[in-house]
A and B are shown apart, each in its own frame.
Chain A
Amino acid sequence: MSTSTPLEPDTFAITADLAQPRLPAWAVLLDVVLAAGVAGLLTLLLGWSPYAGLVLAIVLAALGMPLWSLLVEGRRAAADRLATSVVWASFGVVLVPLVWLIWLVVKNGIGVINSEFLSYDMRNVIGEGGGIYHALWGTILITLAAAIISIPIGLFTAIYLVEYGRGSRLARVTTFLVDVMTGIPSIVAGLFALSLFVLIFGPAIRIGFGGAVALSLLMIPTVVRSSEEMLRLVPSDLREASYALGIPKWRTIVKVVLPTALGGIITGIVLAVSRVIGETAPLLVVAGATDTVNFNLFNGRMTTLPVYIFQQYSQPGIVGPAGGDPPGYARAWGAALVLIAIVMVLNLVARIIGTYFAPKTERRR
C-alpha cells in the first residue's frame, strides 16, 4: 500500500469495479428451486429412481449458480460462487450417511434402553433381559486408564516436537514414527499388549489394564499429531512477549502456549478417546470377556461396550417362539446407542472445560 494520495483514474477504476452487477440474494433460492424442479420433472418423465433425481438436483443447483454468476458477475465472482456451491454440496452429501447411521442406531437402540438395561449385567442371563452395567464400567475404567497413560505422553511429545526439538534429528524421527504408529492395526496392538503382560505376569493374565495399554498405543499418535499442529499454530508473538517479560520457557509453555491452543488440543484428545472407545479386537484379546461387573483394572477380566456389542451381534441367541430377531441384536443396538451417548457427554464436558480455560481470542466460534 503506498501512502501517496490516489490519482483520479484509479478511483474511477475502483468505482467501476465495485459497480459491477451483483446477483440479488434471492438468486440462490431461485437456483435451488429451479434445479429441483428440472430434476424432479426429468425424474418423473423418464422414470428414474428418486436417488438419481436427488443427485441431478444437487449437481444442477451446484453448477447453475456459478454459470449464472459467470454471465452476470464475471469470472472471479463465478469462481467464488462455485466454491460456495461445492462446499455446501459436500457438506450436504456427508450429512447423508451420518444422519442415516445415527438414525439407524437410535431407531434400533432406543426401545431397549431402560433402567434395567443400564443397571443389570449379563450374569446368569439367557435369552431376553440382562443389561450393560458391567460393560459400561469396563468401558469407563479402561478408557480412563488409557487416557491417563496417553494424554501426558502425547502432550509432552507434542511439546517436545514444537518447543524443544524443532529441526533436531530426534524430532524428525519421532514425527515420522508417530505417523507409522497411526497405522498399527488395533488387533496387533492387542496382541502386543498381551505378550507384554504374559511376559511379566504369566500366561493366565487377562486384566483390564492390559486393554488400556493396548488402547493407549492406538491413542498416542492421534494425541501427538493433533496437539502438535495446534501448538504449532500458536503465534510466536505470544511466546516472544512472554520471554521478553523474563518468564522461563516452561512457564511460558504452561501459561501461554498451552492455554492458547487448548481448544484444539481438547478436540484432539476427544477425538483420540472417541477413536479408541469403540475398539473391539484388542480388548477381547487382552481384557477377555466376562458377564459380571468388575471394578478392578488390575485383577480379572473386564468387558467393554464394543466387545459386548460384538458378542451380542455374533452370538445373538436363538429366536424365541414369538419369532423376530434373536434377543442379542436389540441389546447390541442399545449398547451402541449408550456408547455414542457416553462420548457425547464426554465431548460436551471437554468442550465446557475448554471454553472456561481458554483465553479470549479472536478465533471464530
Chain B
Amino acid sequence: MSVTAPPQPPRAAKPVVRPGDRIFAGTARVAALTIMLALAGVFVFLALEGYPGLSAPERIYAPATDFWSYVGPLVFGTILAACVALVIAVPFSIGVALFISHYAPPRVAVPIAYVIDLLAAVPSVVYGLWGGLALAPATRPLIDWLYDNLSFIPFFAGPPSVTGRTMLTAGIVLAIMVVPITTAISREVFAQTPRLHEEAAMALGATRWEMIRLAVFPYARSGVISAVMLGLGRALGETMAVAMVLSATPVVTLNLISNSNPATIASNIASNYKEATPDKQAVLIATGLVLFAVTFVVNFAARWVISRGERNLTR
C-alpha cells in the first residue's frame, strides 16, 4: 500500500544558469562548508588541547589510574543517561505531537503547542533546581517501590537512594528537556501530511488510528527521526542540569536507583573544569574529545539502523 510519494528532487530540464542562481547556490554551498569548518575547528581545538590529557600524571585521574579507566565510567554514564531519557521521551513526544496535530480540538491544540515550545526555553539551571529540589524527593516512594518489587531487574537493584538524586531522576529531567524539542518538530511534520492522503485513507474506511499509521507515519518518518536525533544531541551534551541533579561518582552500574551513579562526560566537565589545574583541564578536554567520538559513533549507528529500516519499507 503506497499512499505516499516522497517529494521528488526538482528536475531541471535544460539548466539556464542565471547569475542570481549561481550566487544563491554558491551562498548555500558556502554555508554548508562553514559548518564543516566550524566543526573541524572544534575538533582541532579539542585534539590539540586535549592531547596532553591522554597521558597526564597518574594522580590527576584519581580515584582512577589512567585516562581510559577515568573516561570509561563517564562514557557509560553518558550513554545510559541518554538512553533512559530517550526511552522515556520519544514515546511521549510522539504521543503529544499526535495529540496536538490530530487529536486535540484545534482551539486547545494551539495553546498547548505554545506551552510546550516554551519549555524548551527554561534554562538548564532551572531544570537542575527543579530536578534537585522538587523532583528528586518526590521520586523516593517510586524508587522504594521499584526496589521492593522489582529489585531482581538489574536496573532496580538498589539500595534505594535516600535523597532521590539518582540516574532515574536525571533521566527523567533529561527526558523533560528533550520532550519539547522532539515534540515541536514531530508535530510540525505530522501537520504537514498532505490532506489528500489522509482523506483518501479515511474514504477507504480506515479508522483514525489506521489513517495515522498508513498516511501520517510513513510521510513523517524522516522528520521524526530528525527530531529524535536533535533530542539525543541535547541529552548527550547537557551539562548543568545533570550536574545539579545526579549524585555522581566514577562507577559503572546499570542500577538506576542507588546513590552511586556514573556522571556524564558533559556534566563531569562542568563540575570539575572550574577548579582544575592545567593538567586536569587537558584531561577534561580530552574527555570532551571522547564525547565527540561517542556522538559520532551513536549517530553513525543510528543512521545505519535507519537505512536498514528504510530498505525494508517500500517507499
Q: Which residues on A are within 8 Å of B, measured CB to CB?
A: 17, 49, 51, 76-77, 79-80, 82-84, 86-91, 93-94, 97-98, 100-102, 104-105, 152-157, 159-161, 163-167, 170-171, 173-174, 176-189, 191-192, 195-196, 217, 220-222, 224-226, 228-230, 232-236, 239-240, 243, 248-251, 253, 263-264, 267-268, 270-271, 273-275, 277-281, 305-306, 309-310, 313, 332, 336, 339-340, 343-344, 347, 351, 362-365
Contact = CB atoms under 8 A, between A and B. Distances in A.
Contacts of B118: 102, 274, 340, 343-344, 347
Question: Contact residue range for chain B?
Answer: 35 or more
Contacts, number: 342
Contacts of A98: 115-116, 119, 176
A336 B296 CA distance: 34
Given A185-B266, A239-B10, A310-B240, A170 B32 contact: yes
A280 B125 contact: yes
Closest A-B pairs by Cβ, 8 of them:
A182-B233, A90-B95, A183-B295, A278-B123, A156-B31, A160-B28, A274-B121, A343-B121
B263 interface: no
Interface of B: 7-10, 12, 16, 18, 20-21, 23-25, 27-36, 38-39, 41-42, 45-46, 49, 91-92, 94-96, 98-99, 101, 103-104, 106, 109-110, 112-127, 129-130, 134-135, 141, 172, 176, 179-181, 184-185, 188-189, 191-192, 194-195, 205, 207-210, 212, 222-223, 226-227, 229-230, 232-234, 236-240, 265-266, 269-270, 273, 285, 288, 291-292, 294-296, 298-300, 303
30 contacts: A49-B141, A83-B208, A88-B103, A90-B94, A94-B95, A94-B96, A101-B176, A153-B34, A156-B31, A157-B32, A160-B31, A176-B300, A177-B39, A178-B35, A183-B232, A183-B295, A187-B270, A188-B42, A195-B45, A225-B185, A225-B229, A229-B223, A233-B7, A249-B24, A249-B25, A281-B239, A306-B125, A340-B118, A347-B118, A364-B191
Given A84-B103, A160-B28, A233 B189 contact: yes
A276 to B, nearest CB: 10
Contacts of B234: 182, 275
Given A160-B31, A234-B7, A185 B114 contact: no
Given A98-B176, A274-B120, 4 more contacts: A80-B209, A98-B115, A157-B28, A233-B192
A230 B226 CA distance: 11
A184 B119 contact: no
Contact of A156 (B28, B45, B238): B28
A324 B30 CA distance: 56
B95 A171 contact: no
A180 B40 CA distance: 11
Contact of B117 (A225, A270, A364): A270
Given A196-B41, A228-B226, A313 B109 contact: no
B208 A306 contact: no
Contacts of B106: 364-365
A201 B234 CA distance: 31
A45 to B, nearest CB: 19
